Structure 1
Amino acid sequence: MTYPLAVLFDHDGTLVNTEPQWAVAKRAVAEHYGQTWTVADDHATLGGTVQDAARRFVDRGAPDSVDEITQQLARHVIDEVAGDVPFLPGIPALLGELRAAGVPAAIVTNALTSVARTTADAAPDVLTRIVSHDDVIHPKPDPEPYLRGAELLGVAPADCVAVEDSEPGVRSAVAAGMIVVVVPGDKPVPDGPHRVFVDSHEDVTLDFLRSLTPRS
Structure 2
Amino acid sequence: MFLDRRIIIFDLDGTLIDSLGVWSQVDQELTRRLTDGRVELTEDEAGHLRMNAMKRYGEGSDAYLKYMADMKAAFGFPGTPEEIHHQRYELAQEFLRTRVRYQPGAAAVVKALKAAGKTLAVATTTRRRNIETYVRDNLLMRAEAPLDDYFELIVTRDDVAHVKPDPECFMKILEHFGASPAECLMIEDALPGIEGARRVGIDSVVVTERHSETAREALDRAAVRRFESMGEILAAVEAEARG
TM range, smaller chain: 0.7 to 0.9
Letter in 2 for 1:177: G
Letter in 2 for 1:143: P
Shift of 1:198: 1.6
**Aligned equivalents of 2:22 and 2:238: distance in 1?**
30
What TM-score, normalized by structure 1, do the two folds share? 0.77
Aligned equivalent of 1:115, options 122, 130, 133: 130
Shift of 1:31: 4.9
Shift of 1:13: 0.9
- SS of the aligned residue for 1:107 comes to strand
**Aligned equivalents of 1:99 and 1:193: distance in 2?**
26
After alignment, is 96-105 or 27-36 more displaced? 27-36
Shift of 1:103: 1.3
Q: Which residue of 2 is the match for residue 11 of structure 1?
A: 12
What TM-score, normalized by structure 2, do the two folds share? 0.70
Shift of 1:41: 2.6
Q: Which residue of 1 is the match for residue 110 of structure 2?
A: 95
Shift of 1:118: 4.2
Residues 189, 207 of structure 2: 8 Å contact kept: yes
Residues 4, 209 of structure 1: 8 Å contact kept: no
Unaligned runs of 5+ in 1: 212-216
**Aligned equivalents of 2:173 and 2:91: distance in 1?**
25
After alignment, is 131-140 or 18-27 more displaced? 18-27
In the alignment of these two chains, the number of paired residues is 207
Q: Which residue of 1 is the match for residue 96 of structure 2?
A: 78
Q: Which residue of 1 is the match for residue 76 of structure 2?
A: none
Kindly indicate whether residue 195 of structure 2 is the aligned counterpart of residue 171 of structure 1: yes
**Aligned equivalents of 1:159 and 1:66: distance in 2?**
46
Residues 10, 109 of structure 1: 8 Å contact kept: yes
**Aligned equivalents of 2:94 and 2:184: distance in 1?**
33
CA RMSD of aligned residues (A): 3.4
- SS of the aligned residue for 1:192 comes to helix
**Aligned equivalents of 2:200 and 2:65: distance in 1?**
30
Letter in 1 for 2:131: A
Letter in 1 for 2:184: C
- SS of the aligned residue for 1:204 comes to helix
Structure number, greater radius of gyration: 2
After alignment, is 93-102 or 116-125 more displaced? 116-125
Unaligned runs of 5+ in 2: 73-79, 136-141
- SS of the aligned residue for 2:185 comes to strand
Query: What percent identity do the matched residue pairs reach?
Result: 25
Q: Which residue of 2 is the match for residue 58 of structure 1?
A: 69
Q: Which residue of 2 is the match for residue 160 of structure 1?
A: 184
**Aligned equivalents of 1:90 and 1:46: distance in 2?**
29
The C-alpha deviation readout for 1:30-56, integer Å capped at 9, x for no partner, is 456559573323135469779766642
- SS of the aligned residue for 2:165 comes to coil
Q: Which residue of 1 is the match for residue 47 of structure 2?
A: 42
174 and 44 in structure 1: CA distance in 2 versus 1, 3 angstrom threshold: farther
Letter in 1 for 2:47: D
Greater helix proportion:
2
**Aligned equivalents of 1:151 and 1:206: distance in 2?**
31
